[in-house]
Structure 1
Amino acid sequence: MNPIALFGAVDPSWVAALSPELASRAQFGWTISVHIIFASLSVGLAPFMVYFTYKDVRTDDERFAQLRSFWVTVFAVGFVMGTVTGIPMSFQFGTNFPQFSAVAGELIGGPLAFEAKMAFFLEAVFLGVLLYGRDRVSDRSYVASSVLVGVGAWLSGFWILVVNAWMQTPRGYEMITRNGMEVARLTDPIAAFFTPRMGWMYVHMINASVISVALLVGGVSAYIVWKKRDARAWNTALRLAVVILLVSAPLQAVHGDAYGRHVEDTQPQKFAAMEAHYETGSADLHLLAVPTSPEAMVDPRAENLITVSLPKLGSFLASGGDFDAEVIGLNEYEENPPVALVFWSFRVMVGLGFLFIALSLWGGYLFSRGRLSDSDWYLKAMIAASPLGYAALLTGWYVTEIGRQPWVIQGELKTSEAVSSTLTGTEATLTLIGFVVVYVGLLAAALYVLKWLVRAELRRLGREPSSDDRWYGPLPGVNDGD
């Protein structure tokens, strides 16, 4: 179908068309950026939902019934939005990247089918039980439903990452000629499903989702506690979020350090882009980088940045212990990824990661002193940090995906070769605009529903929301006396 038909009879001459490759990449990147917010919400919320459901059934405590009901509803909203935003991505393989589908179809078709039939339907069926079956099934069945929903969410992430990890470090295949075209033929399913990248990506992504949701749960809980100090259920949720952050935030830093060494071993070009390392030799580690000019933002190099760096530590981390280890520079490659996007995204991700560790330690200290709910500063910090987990998750995903360029399948198929040869720049640009508009609307709708749920919870607690009530942070017009 002609993408312009999506917009009716319009004159496309006003469109400053991007190239088909750039517009297609931007469209898929935007689509998956929005989808991943909802997908990671399901993944990260699963352990919270299981815990609240189990405690509700086991203790019959009204606190956990309230928390279960609230967060199961949020999970359901995320599940629906994740489905709506995820379905178009499979079509984009055919409309925008048909060469990729033709070359890799035998490798990616199975995992994507497993994700739909094994994970999605498992999640969907038992989510219905969670939403409507509290008084219709036994307590044991109800708890089991929460576990199966969580398993479905984590299985979905597993199969999607099987595909992506194969694209990063392809294994278990051979290139053959079929109908005059070079395609990948599956030779070893185990090697293809469990590539060298798979374990690293899965642990890092699952933990990133848990951190993101812990910050969201903590932020919503902190806001309600700020407004209603004696809200028992939300004090409980706040404490749980802090405990989970205390475990998951430091784990992400330790795991990320080891993951970085794996990236250097398997994708040295991506590692060099993460540090804007151009000359082959020992590499410093830039703890902080400040651009000295607008040019430095789009082309970060040592001479146009003010950096706080640890000499040779980049080599030490890349090699696992050798300060003089050689790190291949970007100048050695004919084509490089957009270095600025990878470099700055990596810095945002790492900087936010250390912020989350600080928040978790601060919260842990207050919790141990019994002052967690009494500290206005901490409550405000948690409210303000509630969306930052997703900022870290998305920038980490950009490092992973943009850093692989110019390859869509590392070492086998370039992105420029995977794009449809019949797609025009105007068609791709118009479709990109359409996806941006629609997905912004979906994001706004999801935020509106979350705001409505928080306001409804405040009313239930006897705290009638005012026009200044904003769950997302201590902004002007919201003060401690509200």
Structure 2
Amino acid sequence: MIDPATASRLQFAVTTVVHIVFPVMSMGLAPFLVYFTWKEVRTGEALYARLRRFWTKIFAVSFAVGTVTGLVLEFEFGTNFAAFSAAAGELFGGPLAIEGMMAFFLEATFLGVFVFGRDRVSDRLYLVSSVLVGLGTWLSAVWILIANSWMQTPRGYELARESGQLTVLLTDPIAAYANPRFPWMFVHMQNAAVLSVALFMAGVAAYHVYRRDHLGVVDGGNLDAEFWRATLKIALVVLLITAPLQVLHGDAYGRHVAETQPQKFAAMEAVWETDSYVPEYIVAFPTDVDDLLNPRAKEIFGIGIPGGASWLASGGNAHAEITGLNEFEGSPPVAIVFWSFRAMVALGFWFVVLALWAGYRWRTGELFEDRLLHEALMASSVLGFLGVELGWIVTEVGRQPWVIQGVMKTTEGVSPGLTATEATLTLAGFVAGYLVLLGLYTYVVGRLIRRGPETDGETDAVLPDTARDPGIAPAAAEVSEDD
């Protein structure tokens, strides 16, 4: 059996790693859907209606699965981390409650109009519904990130003892909820979501262009060619904006982490002893197994920028001092943080290269002829989601051993009545259940992608369409938009 603290942490990690895929897809797709709807209403072109209908299907599936997995996460605060919830509920519970009452219900209410109401409401109301669905999606992120950022940089509170129980009391809501970490997390997360979806859309479009133009597979005539070429161009425009922004913002974000969580920054750079002129390893390799599991900056073999880590931490001084992990009380699992950070940074630079490569091919008129580019886009289609996962691993694992930075340790927040048997069994059950959910989601989305966009005569109904028997002809199974 696994001890309750470790099992609870693993369970929350697994459920979070799976869950984050769905809100990232929803948040990233929202701006695209608003744009497609606006262009459809403004121009009346069938292409934008088809783009809206196709990507709305994936949005709706992501929203449905994300809702289920997200609710479970909130329940885990009570089942696995009751001590934390009891101590910090006054600060932590408010944003979560507002997220449910404001953002979720706003999104859920108007999603029905957006999915099923194209022929039932006016163009103006339909466009408004798309905006409100997107707004609800992003507002959910606001309140979730407010709660999480407070745990990273707690402000606006005081500690008290009530019946021997440590309690965190809210004294300044503005200081607590407008804490210094929130704007950094929000910009980085939302840009990452849009970037991830742009990369996903580009990869899906490249897959269909590749099959048609390089393999000679024709599924839907010229309309499908137009659809996927338009998708690829739109995705690349967004990728050219978001990929460089993510790198530039990430550089500034790293400085903020060094100022507010020096322990996490030291783990990101594997610095144990306080030192200056610390190199930033762009490419790093372990020289033996010990270096892989317990990396140290001076013992890693790789390509590094001399003084780069010091420059990053200080904002321009390559000789700045970085406080080593030995100066802090406890330290996070350094290997996980160090290697995750390097992989995340590598992916960020790859996305910039990929965007510039595609932009150059577009400029030279060879966007649809470059077979290698199409293969690279297909191979990179889900790497944006991997980058988000790695970023959250750095954020959450790097904060350990604290659940509230400098206030409460994670082991102190575990439910006191939870036994090792209960924790281990629920961990196994959640791993199995979430893997099944992820597999079903992948199957449904993959089926939608393989099928491609519907013909102009198909309805806007989304969820029933994903479960339709593929042997039934679309004309017999659906109601025409013109009816």
Is TM (by shorter chain) over 0.5?
yes
User: Corresponding residue for 1:14?
Assistant: none
Alpha-carbon contact 1:211-1:249 (below 8 Å) kept: yes
Rounded to whole Å, the distance in 2 between the matches of 1:340 and 1:97 is 25
2:90 to 106, 118, 123: 106
Q: Distance in 2 between matches of 1:243 and 1:458?
A: 21
Counterpart in the other structure of 1:202? 186
* 1:335 maps to which of 330, 339, 347: 330
What is the deviation of 1:333?
2.0
CA contact (8 A) 2:50 2:453 kept: no
Alignment pair present for 1:118 and 2:102: yes
The separation in 2 between residues aligned to 1:233 and 1:145, in whole angstroms, is 24
Aligned 1:12-411 pairs, distance under 5 A: 17-229=1-213, 230=222, 231-282=225-276, 283-302=278-297, 304-411=299-406
- Please tell me the residue identity of whatever aligns with 2:185: M
Provide closer, same or farther for how the CA distance between residues 165 and 215 of structure 1 changes in structure 2, counting only shifts above 3 A: same
Pairwise CA distance, 1:387: 0.7
SS of equivalent residue, structure 2 residue 379: helix
1:247-283 deviation per Cα after TM superposition (whole angstroms, max 9, x unaligned):
1010011100000000000000000000101110112
Point out the more displaced range, 203-212 or 299-308.
299-308
The AA in structure 1 aligned to 2:18 is V
Distance 1:296 1:177 in 2: 43
How far apart are residue 460 of structure 1 and its match? 5.7
Q: Verify: 1:433 aligned to 2:428, yes or no.
A: yes
Structure 2: how far apart are the matches of 1:268 and 1:292? 27
Residue 228 of structure 1: SS of its match in structure 2?
helix
User: How far apart, in 1, do the equivalents of 2:235 and 2:3 lie?
Assistant: 45
Q: Give, in angstroms, the shift of residue 182 of structure 1.
A: 2.0
One-letter amino acid of the structure 1 residue matched with residue 229 of structure 2: N
* Aligned residues of 1:224 and 1:458 also touching (Cα < 8 A): no
The whole-number CA distance in structure 2 between the counterparts of 1:186 and 1:94 is: 20
Opposite residue 270 of structure 1, the aligned amino acid is: K
- Code of the residue aligned with 1:429 in structure 2: it is T
Q: 412, 420, 436: which is aligned to 2:407? A: 412
Structure 1 window deviating more from structure 2 (365-374 vs 198-207): it is 365-374
Is the 1:218–1:386 contact (alpha carbons within 8 Å) kept by the matching residues of 2?
yes
The answer to which of 396-405 and 58-67 deviates more is: 58-67
- Aligned AA (1:370): G
After the TM superposition, which segments of 4 or more aligned residues of structure 1 sit over 4 Å from their partners?
A: 458-461
Structure 2 residues not aligned, in runs of 5+: 214-221, 457-483
Secondary structure in 1 matching 2:322:
coil
Structure 1 Cα separation of the partners of residues 109 and 450 of structure 2: 29
Mapped partners of 1:23, 1:223: distance in 2: 40
The aligned length equals 445
Give the TM-score of the pair, scaled to structure 1. Answer: 0.90
Quote how far apart the aligned CAs of 1:72 are. 0.6
Q: Quote how far apart the aligned CAs of 1:302 are.
A: 3.8
Residues 1:21 and 1:58: Cα distance change in structure 2 (over 3 Å): same
In the TM superposition, residue 459 of structure 1 has moved relative to its aligned partner by: 8.2
For 2:453 and 2:251, locate their aligned partners in 1 and report how far apart those are by CA, in whole Å. Answer: 41
Q: Alignment partner of 1:301: what SS?
A: coil
Give the secondary structure class of the aligned counterpart of 2:403.
strand
> Residues of 1 paired with 2:424 and 2:292: CA distance?
25
Structure-2 separation of matches of 1:301 and 1:425: 34
Of the three residues 438, 447, 460, the one matched with 2:442 is 447
CA RMSD, 1 decimal:
1.3
The CA distance in 2 between the partners of 1:74 and 1:439, in whole Å, is: 19
Q: Which moved more, 1:137-146 or 1:308-317?
A: 308-317
Q: Which moved more, 1:46-55 or 1:398-407?
A: 46-55
Within 1, Cα distance between the matches of 2:158 and 2:204?
Answer: 50
Moved more, 51-60 or 391-400: 51-60
Q: Which amino acid aligns with 1:456?
A: R
Contact 2:269 2:297 in 1 (8 A): no
> Following the alignment from structure 1 to structure 2, what is the Cα–Cα distance between the partners of residues 458 and 124?
24
CA contact (8 A) 2:114 2:130 kept: yes
CA contact (8 A) 1:293 1:304 kept: no
Q: Distance in 2 between matches of 1:100 and 1:459?
A: 49
Amino acid in structure 2 at the alignment position of 1:78: S
Q: What is the percent sequence identity of the aligned residues?
A: 56
Unaligned runs of 5+ in 1: 1-16, 462-482
